[in-house]
Amino acid sequence: MVALLLLARTGHALPVGAGAGGEPLRAVAARAGVAIGAAARALLLETDPRYAPVLAGEFDSLTPEIEMKWPQTEPEPGRFVFGPADALVDFAEAHGMRVRGHTLLWADPVRIPDYVARTGDPEALRTLLRNHITAVAGRYRGRVEAWDVVNEPLDPIRGTGLRSNVFLEHLGPAYIGEAFRLAREVDPSAQLFLNEIGVLSGGPKFEALLDLVRDLLATGVPLDGVGLQGHIFAGLNTPSRERVEEVVRSFADLGLVVELTEIDVSVGPAVPDRLELQARIVGDLLGGCLAVEACRGITFWGFTDRHTWIDDFLGPGRAPLLFDAEYRPKPAVEAVRATLAARAVPEPGTGLALATGLAALAATRRRA
Ligand code: 9MR
């Protein structure tokens, strides 16, 4: 009855079992050997009573949306603010969720505090970077499973070459490797990621990222993974499933772990069947990544249309996330569930495992 009412109110063509009555995404994801996450805001844990239950019920990975960034954690040199980030890490631990730390150094000049951006002396800049990474990665040592050490280092407009910022200007391109080495020193157990925007469709920016990553690996920089963001605007930058797979595979082939780190799919209010279109796009993003074994994490940049940065960026009404503003599941939820289920790893000892094992054995014999 409740499900019927939900259907009636949302008008979404939800398959039976979707949403409130459906299996939690985190349970399906666990069988697929992949973490399923959402970016979260500490403030909303306090102010919106409907927020926490869906976050903890559906997801097993949490990325602080802003709370671990430099302007928030160290607004003035040496003055650290950890309350909001602590609240998110505590919440994650209390609910069996892993934490993706985001981010030690966002290479965008406007995302670096003014006191850093104004520092022209290379040694002083190095000290600021060292102190920052030591304090932040040190505080969460052993509690953050993966860090986005450097975020968006590529030039956003040209798409090739590094984005100019105070670090590039005074320390040269080696600043990226320095940040990774510091992070490894401070928290040796964390997986270290480079996170980039606008590369899932391939093209020059993707090629530039691949070159950068190859250079970092060739010079022994401790890089474990690449985070591919996934802010999609339907009709503008919508990669096919095959394209996503190709992009993900290119990094996997270098021996790296890959995660989709910041998915949201904006669909304009006038787009016909927009929620079904969104579900298809979400299915393609996940399907492309999950086709590659090295794809280990899928994170949405929020989970309810009630709270999304897209509203501030483009104005309201783009409905980019999995649950609507009333926390009702949208068709994209079922697309996530179905795509994850398609990668489920059979449990050892089950009939399916046996059948899969026998088929693999037969194939090996045929090849031999
Ligand atoms: O969604 C985040 C927004 O709430 C913040 O105001 C903004 C600045 O901290 O960052 C947004 O998240 C960005 C992420 O950290 C990096 N990739 C792009 C995301 C959207 O701008």
268-292: pLDDT as tens digits: 999 999 999 999 999 999 999 999 9
Domains in the chain, please, with CATH?
14-367 (3.20.20.80)
User: DSSP secondary-structure letter at 21?
Assistant: G
Per cent of the chain over pLDDT 70 is: 88
Identify the CA nearest to 29 among candidates 328, 315, 300, 327.
Answer: 300
Residue 6: pLDDT band by 50, 70, 90 thresholds?
very low
Instruction: Catalytic residue, from 67, 145, 262, 334: name it.
Output: 262
Does position 345 have pLDDT exceeding 90, yes or no? no
Q: Is the distance from CB of 239 to CB of 285 less than 8 angstroms?
A: yes
Rg (CA), the chain: 21
Return the ligand 1 atom nearest residue 69 CA. 9
Structural element, H or E, at residue 86: helix 83-94
Closest CA to 229 of 152, 291, 164: 152
Please tell me the distance between residue 65's alpha carbon and the centre of ligand 1 in angstroms.
Answer: 7
Distance of CA 142 from the midpoint of ligand 1 (Å): 25
Which contiguous run of DSSP H or E holds residue 46?
helix 42-47
Number of helices (H), then strands (E), belonging to the chain: the values are 16, 9
pLDDT in tens, 112-125: 999 999 999 999 99
Give yes or no for residue 66 CB within 6 A of ligand 1.
Answer: yes
Distances (CA, A) of 227 to 192, 257, 269: 10, 9, 29
State the pLDDT at residue 32.
96
The rounded Å distance from CA 171 to ligand 1 centre is 25
pTM exceeds 0.85 for this model: yes
How far apart CA 340 and CA 328 sit, in angstroms, is: 20
Residue 111 Cα to ligand 1 midpoint, Å, equals 9
Q: In this predicted structure, what is the pLDDT of residue 351?
A: 53
220-275 per-position pLDDT tens digit: 999 999 999 999 999 899 999 999 999 999 999 999 999 999 999 999 999 999 99
Please tell me the distance from the alpha carbon of residue 105 to that of residue 195, in angstroms, as a whole number: 10
* Closest Cα to atom 12 of ligand 1: 65
Nearest to 32 by CA among 278, 356, 342, 351: 342
Ligand 1 contacts CB of residue 150 (under 6 A): no
* Mean pLDDT (the chain, rounded): 91
pLDDT for the residue numbered 235: 87
231: helix, strand or coil? strand
CB of 197 sitting under 6 A from ligand 1: yes
366 pLDDT more than 60? no
